[in-house]
């Protein structure tokens, strides 16, 4: 504020007070004051309309008028600076009303009051400018929020269109894939004549690719349903230990081929819970499949269950390559694979598994150390 030239409007009809204030504001200082004063009440509003004043000083008692009335009119003006009301001793009771009408300070004109006016003006001006800056920022933030809300609506619409497109494409793939798999199986089984070993190998490769595409289609449909809120859970009474026991056997061959060990540590007091059996089975199979897939030959996989106070917990641990610390948060991102090694899959299995668990009001997380393996956990409420 130092070096500024401030324009001051004084609404004061007492010549003595005018002279006192003018003399103080005319004294040499870091700030120069260009003081104007209104000679009549009716001139005040027209002066404010014609000229921008940095500060307005109003006397509470005016000849034939009341400073509060002028202050009341000024509150509807777009003022450049603060309004300071001056009053004599005994008029302190009107300070609250003056502040409510927009005054930034209320000065009692005691002996030598004019000497403190420069500081009062300085403080009021700082407070006024700070308030204006807050208001400006609030308007700017409000405008940005409107822009963000509009952009968010557009993004949601784009996301909905994308999800609908993915779902439609996936549905379109399903029928031809079913036909391809059915016809190929029939040929392999000799339905169209004898098949040579070389032909069978080629047909087996085609079936394998068709199965991969079928899994991709199913994953895309699951993601589409989850994102659109259309995935409905068919809840029934299930037991997690039983689901694990029934599905571990399907991994016997691949475990044997990779010379791995598969251990289980299932809680003996595991209670029944209410959940969608098919979806929870899908979650478990995904975790176990990943554990076996990412564990090297001769590695080990452990499946544990724990009965907690308000939920059950399942842990699937492996001795695989592990996950780098900077990639931990990406594990559940869609279409993301955090390992450098290319593995068969869509990158959708873990995001789908976590979404299913969350739909059950459960939690899923991972602990991992690069080169030493990973532990995936999920809980389900009792």
pTM to 2 decimal places:
0.55
Walking along the chain (382 residues) 10 residues at a time, the average pLDDT comes out as 80 84 84 82 78 90 78 85 89 86 88 88 90 91 92 84 74 80 86 86 85 80 79 92 93 92 94 95 94 92 96 95 87 68 65 93 94 94 94
**Structure confidence at residue 340 (pLDDT):** 45
> How far is the CA of 202 from the CAs of 171, 196, 197, 213, in angstroms?
27, 10, 9, 17
**Structure confidence at residue 41 (pLDDT):** 65
């Amino acid at each position: 504020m130092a070096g500024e030239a401030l324009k001051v409007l004084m609404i004061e009809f007492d010549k003595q007070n005018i002279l006192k204030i003018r003399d103080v504001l005319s004294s040499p200082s870091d700030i120069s004051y260009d003081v104007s004063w209104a000679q009549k009440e009716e001139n005040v509003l027209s002066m404010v309309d014609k000229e921008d004043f940095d500060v307005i000083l109003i006397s509470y008692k005016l000849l034939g008028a009341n400073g509060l009335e002028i202050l009341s009119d000024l509150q509807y003006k777009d003022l450049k600076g603060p309004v300071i009301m001056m009053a004599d001793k005994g008029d302190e009771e009107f300070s609250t009303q003056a502040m409510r009408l927009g005054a930034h300070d209320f000065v009692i004109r005691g002996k030598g009051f004019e000497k403190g006016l420069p500081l009062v003006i300085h403080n009021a001006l700082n407070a006024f400018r700070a308030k204006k800056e807050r208001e400006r920022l609030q308007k700017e933030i409000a405008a940005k929020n409107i822009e963000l809300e509009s952009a968010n609506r557009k993004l949601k619409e784009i996301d909905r269109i994308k999800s609908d497109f993915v779902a439609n494409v996936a549905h379109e793939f399903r029928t031809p894939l079913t036909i391809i798999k059915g016809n190929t199986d029939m040929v392999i089984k000799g339905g169209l004549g004898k098949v040579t070993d070389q032909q069978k190998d080629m047909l087996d490769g085609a079936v394998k690719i068709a199965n991969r595409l079928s899994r991709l289609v199913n994953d895309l449909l699951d993601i589409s349903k989850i994102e659109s809120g259309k995935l409905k859970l068919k809840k029934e009474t299930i037991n997690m230990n039983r689901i694990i026991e029934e599905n571990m056997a399907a991994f016997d061959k691949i475990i044997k081929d990779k010379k791995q060990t598969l251990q289980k540590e299932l809680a003996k007091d595991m209670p029944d819970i209410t959940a969608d059996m098919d979806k929870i089975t899908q979650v478990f199979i995904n975790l176990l499949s990943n554990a076996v897939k990412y564990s090297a030959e001769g590695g080990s996989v452990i499946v544990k269950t724990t009965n907690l106070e308000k939920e059950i917990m399942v842990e699937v641990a492996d001795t695989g390559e592990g996950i780098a610390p900077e990639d931990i948060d990406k594990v559940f991102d869609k279409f993301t694979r955090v390992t450098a090694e290319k593995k068969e899959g869509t990158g959708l299995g873990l995001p789908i598994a976590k979404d299913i668990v969350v739909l059950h009001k459960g939690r899923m997380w991972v602990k991992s150390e690069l080169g030493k393996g990973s532990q995936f956990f999920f809980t389900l409420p009792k």
